[in-house]
Amino acid sequence: MADSRGEHAAPERVVALERELLDSACRADADRVCALLAEDFTEIGKSGRPRTRAEVIAALRDDPAVDDVIVGEMRVETVADGVVVVRYTTGGAPAAYRTSWWRETDSGWRCWFHQATPAASSPSAGAASSPSAGAASSPSAGAASSESAAIGAVEEPTTQHDVEAALGRLGVTPGSIVVVHCSLSRLGWVVGGAPAVVAALGAAVGAAGTTVMPAQTGASDPSHWQAPPVPAAWWPTIRNNWPPYDPASTPFRGMGAVAECLARLPESVYSGHPAVGFVARGPRAAELMQPHRLEAGLGDDSPLGRLYAAGADIVLLGVGHDNNTSLHPAELRALGDAAPMIDDGVPLVVDGRRQWVEYRHVDYDEDDFPALATAYVAAGGSLASTSLGAGQAQRVPMRELIDFGTEWIAAQRA
């Protein structure tokens, strides 16, 4: 077998190795399988019983065939330096949702965990739904499909206790200040949904702790919209008619159900920024959230700057550092006056009247945040990680990551 080491093409290499493990010729060769599996490899199959590497190799020796398997598109995510997760479906008989974790060793990439969950129905490989697919793209059908995927991604449901336990393993303790970025759908099927996660966060930090989440609305000048864009002829109409920002009624955009749930609690405090705001709950919520001037954005004069000074931790639940809004202060510090600027606008109530208010802010760029986080871990930075449902949870000290990120961005974007 070829050497499984690789640097720049790690995800592609891991996909090739994952497909090799699905090949009957490989599965019949104990030496080839042994070379691909880590010594501490564990598999949780359709029965729900964990199996060791030796048990898996013995089982494959007896029955190496993968009958009528249709392999769907493999989705790859680099979750830490030298750690890659592969998710995909297999159709035919049997049909299953599959997740494999790979880590890079001195001898190359090795699979150390695999989980296969029976699918309720046989998924078709490579199938992609279209927005024009009629009833299949309706909100109710989409929600049902998403929930079915969440159910199929785990052997058993995730509970509030599971979330609390994961936060404890990460080192979140009573009195902590945490900035949380969360994707509920990536945690599998959570009993009670978003309220259970919010309750778990509250229990983890305790009465003396404070939970903070981004509360971005997507409010911006329509000339900047890209996903999707709108015709230029519409721009004046949008600017003149968009309802003004109101923290009590303006919805979030792309923040997820957990942030929306936290914001509904009567004791939660908004930072008040109409575009890139935050919401917090806890005894220090007000002092951390306000003020949040329009021009402050995501810099040191925003809630992020005060969270940095307070020694907050960043907690990622089911998401990676590409969703880590808390890294933007590093970007602004590193670039300084050289940071690219953008002219923007939002609808606000000024002196009792609705107005379209124009302002300038940094043209934020988070594309290199995953690479930044990888470099941080490689340099010995503190990062705790644990499994949670169908996903991963991470905790990293905000101050340590931003200090490292400031120097890293200054060097990388020079």
* Residue among 371, 347, 344 nearest 358 (CA): 344
* Dist CA 207 CA 195 (whole Å): 17
Is the separation of the CB atoms in 368 and 266 below 8 Å? no
Amino acid at 155: E
Is the separation of the CB atoms in 350 and 357 below 8 Å? yes
Tell me the pTM.
0.66
* Residue among 331, 336, 397 nearest 368 (CA): 331
Bridge-partner residues for 213, per DSSP? 279
* Residue among 317, 307, 319 nearest 369 (CA): 319
pLDDT at 382: 95
pLDDT at 41: 87
pLDDT at 336: 93
Scan for tokens 């009833």, then name that residue: 135
* Dist CA 272 CA 265 (whole Å): 16
Outline where DSSP puts E strands in 183-295. Answer: 210-216, 269-270, 276-281
* Dist CA 411 CA 409 (whole Å): 5
Count of beta carbons in the 10 Å neighbourhood of residue 408: 20
**Strand 108-118 with 37-44, pairing:** parallel
pLDDT tens across the length of the chain (414 residues): 333 333 335 688 899 999 898 887 888 888 899 999 998 888 876 555 667 888 888 877 666 555 445 677 788 888 777 888 888 887 644 467 788 889 888 889 999 888 876 554 333 333 222 222 233 333 344 455 567 777 777 788 999 999 999 999 999 999 999 999 999 988 988 999 999 999 999 999 999 999 999 999 989 999 998 767 889 999 999 999 999 999 888 989 888 899 999 999 999 999 999 999 999 999 999 999 999 999 999 999 999 999 999 999 999 999 999 889 999 999 999 999 999 999 999 999 999 999 999 999 999 998 899 999 999 999 999 999 999 998 899 999 999 999 999 999 999 997
Is the separation of the CB atoms in 123 and 95 below 8 Å? yes
* Dist CA 91 CA 120 (whole Å): 11
| Six token digits for residue 8 | 């720049």
| Six token digits for residue 407 | 């120097």
CA-to-CA dists, residue 314 to 20, 207, 343, 352, 397, angstroms: 37, 19, 30, 38, 6
Q: How wide is the angle at C-alpha 62 spanned by C-alphas 60 and 67, nearest 5°?
A: 65
* Dist CA 143 CA 189 (whole Å): 13
Is the separation of the CB atoms in 344 and 220 below 8 Å? yes
- Using omega within 30 degrees of 0 as the cis cutoff, is the peptide bond preceding 291 cis? yes
* Dist CA 256 CA 260 (whole Å): 7
Bridge-partner residues for 40, per DSSP? none
- Is 288 in a helix, a strand, or coil? helix
* Dist CA 196 CA 190 (whole Å): 8
* Dist CA 366 CA 359 (whole Å): 21
CA-to-CA dists, residue 89 to 149, 171, 200, 295, 394, angstroms: 11, 34, 31, 46, 26
DSSP codes joined into one string, 8-76: TTHHHHHHHHHHHHT-HHHHT-HHHHHHHEEEEEEEE-TT--EEEHHHHHHHHHH----TT-EE-PPEE
pLDDT at 174: 98
* Dist CA 259 CA 220 (whole Å): 20
Tell me how far the alpha carbon of residue 35 is from its chain's centroid: 31
pLDDT at 408: 96
Q: How wide is the angle at C-alpha 173 spanned by C-alphas 171 and 175, nearest 5°?
A: 140
pLDDT at 347: 96
